[in-house]
Amino acid sequence: MNNRNLKNLALWIAIFLAFALVAKSVHQTDRPEKLPLVELMKVGDEGRIVGEVVDSGGLLKGKYKAVATEAPGITPPTPEKAADKNAPGPGEKLFETEYMGTQDQAVLDWARKNNIQYKAQRTSEIFSMVLLNVLLPVVIMVVLWIFLMRQFQSGNNKAMSFGKSRAKLVTDGQTKVMFADVAGIDEVKEELMEIIQFLKDPDRFSRLGGKIPKGALLYGPPGTGKTLIAKAVAGEASVPFFSISGSDFVEMFVGVGASRVRDLFEQGKKARPCLIYIDEIDAVGRSRFAGIGGGHDEREQTLNQLLVELDGFNSNEGVIVMASTNRPDVLDPALLRPGRFDRQIRVDLPDLVGREKILMVHTKPLKISTEISLKTIAKGTPGFSGADLANLANEAALLAARKGKEVVEMDDLEEAKDRVLMGPERRSLVMTEKERTNTAYHEAGHALIAKLTNSTAHRVHKVTIIPRGRALGLTSILPEQDMLSQSRVQLKNTILCLMGGRAAEDIVFDEMTTGAANDLQRCTEIAHRMVCEFGMSDKLGPRTFGEPTAQVFLGRDIGRQREYSEDTARIIDTEVQDLLVSGYADAKHQLEGSREALERISQALLERETLDSDQLDMLIAGEPLPPLLEPLNGKNGNGDNSTPSAPASEPTLSPAANELPLEGTV
């Protein structure tokens, strides 16, 4: 048994003993009867005194027999009382009698006359009884209280230290992440390196009158390396580094958040120059005055204290604050103004060069083949974040180990990329032959339209009818290059590609299935944004419709405020409908003109289950594919085509390739 268990056992034993002593001292079921001295002497003269009489310095205690008329009403003692020699027996009562000091001799004479056992109790014995019955329980309770308070406030518990900051102090050598471990965000590294150099050599900048920035806010999509770059700053800086999460400030008790903010900056002032990093600052930094119904808002009080500490009446020179968030749009404007966060640094998704550098970092600890081309993998992963690329490298290593390889090869990285893009294969899923055929034509329609449009925004990476993730078939479409914006023609081609699956089903089977539900949803979204947000309607002109009504206390947009007439709304509906109907008609027309290529692609999918871009080009050109090295065992890899266990196929394009731009460049 370790020391912690022994402490807990001793604590519970002490608590039990304390309560037992208190209960014994205060809970008495048999209270003695107060008898005057004259009445007591009368009882003694009648010979009804039982046992000895104890004299405690003017107080006589003992037992006496009740008279015959009272005896029937006396209840017999319980077994616990019978075990106590001082407890009254059947027909007996306890008594207490006080007498004056001048009556000592009379009491002694009375005891000798009636042959009563008289015992005088000494002062030390009286003090011991008082100590045992009164003082000892009090002392034990005080000791237990002190022990519990020390237990609560020791180690990581700190149950009573609600107002203390929970920031972790990072000193030199405690973190092994350095700037060399961060790739793909060189501009961010330069901005933060300047802050570190300012801390190390302030005279270099202050000689020209410049002041050190008070704060730097890192914002951007999830997985782009905001927390990682903060760890690298902690590793590079030779000053104390305090790290805390935004949610650590807020507690169920009122005033705790503001108290923790004060304590955090007090620690920073004592250790300055220092850096304070607040992760996910939107947990406490959301816009104020957004609640419903009024009342006290603990989060707002925490934010107010944070604003004061960042740039208030008292200066915090030498304390630099870094923070990160995925939602800069919900932060309070007072938090973002210069003087609090002087630098707002966007950490964006990496470009082609950045992705290659990130892959080099994450494949460095792996045993990889010399024939691997990381640039090829980087080209095929547009829209991937740093976290996605780290996951890709790890998945490749796991796949190679599963196959018993000594090194990670190129096919492992390609397969890992497909797993990250499209999800893991579900070859054990049972599909009927009809569903399998329907899925093949559906995916062939997507792939063929993408090839026929011949757009740089739509390059087919791979098409498969092997179930992956939540879909029974997938067509992965990646852009030829990183795109920051999309043109009207490119968006229309995207609608065309999405409609290709439904159009192929209509041409071949003359029926519709639920497999195009996701395609139709995405087409409708694209068409609506083209009309209402991007100003791509000839009838409505260059104008946007609908202002977002953001409710920051919910953390998202819950609707759009309508500021246009019913006639304009009908035109919007008509324009959206025309884009969708014309896109479907164009897709169907192109597939009908290339029916033979559609059949060849569908049959090849039924035979091989997966086709890449080069194989699609050969099929469209009418060239035969090279024979399979190993024939597939059974249909869909499971040899069983009985009862279906999933709804119709839900083909999806790569979200990274077809995500509508939130920001455009002119």
Just list the catalytic residues.
Answer: 443
* d(C-alpha 316, C-alpha 508), whole Å: 72
Residues 6+ apart with CB under 8 A from 482: 351, 352, 382
Query: Partners of 286 in the beta sheet?
Result: 331
> 65 has which bridge partners?
92
Q: Which residues pair with 459 in a beta bridge?
A: 478
566-593 and 433-453 helices, crossing angle to 10°: 100
Residue 430 CB neighbour total at 10 angstroms: 16
Q: Is 593 exposed, middle or buried (0-12, 13-18, 19+ CB in 10 A)?
A: exposed
Report which of 478, 486, 464, 503 is spatially closest to residue 602, judged by C-alpha positions.
Answer: 464
- Residue 299: phi and psi, rounded to 5, are -65, -40
Residue type, 614: D
Helices (H), strands (E): how many in the chain?
A: 23, 16
CA distance 284 to 429: 46
Beta strands 274-279 and 610-612 are unpaired
CB-based contact 379:481 (threshold 8 Å):
no
Hey, is 27 helix, strand or coil? coil
Helix (H, G, I), strand (E, B) or coil at 75: coil
**HSE (CB half, 13 Å, CA atoms) of 236?**
22
Give exposure, 77-116, as e/b (b: 16+ Cβ within 10 Å).
beeeeeeeeebbeebbbbbebebeeeeeeebeebbeebeb
CA 365, CA 530: separation in Å to the nearest integer? 45
Do 95 and 33 touch, CB atoms closer than 8 A? yes
Strand ranges inside 116-204, DSSP E: 117-120, 168-170
Q: Which of the 8 DSSP states describes residue 167?
A: P
Q: What residue type is 428 in one-letter code? A: S
- How remote is the C-alpha of 80 from its chain's centroid? 58
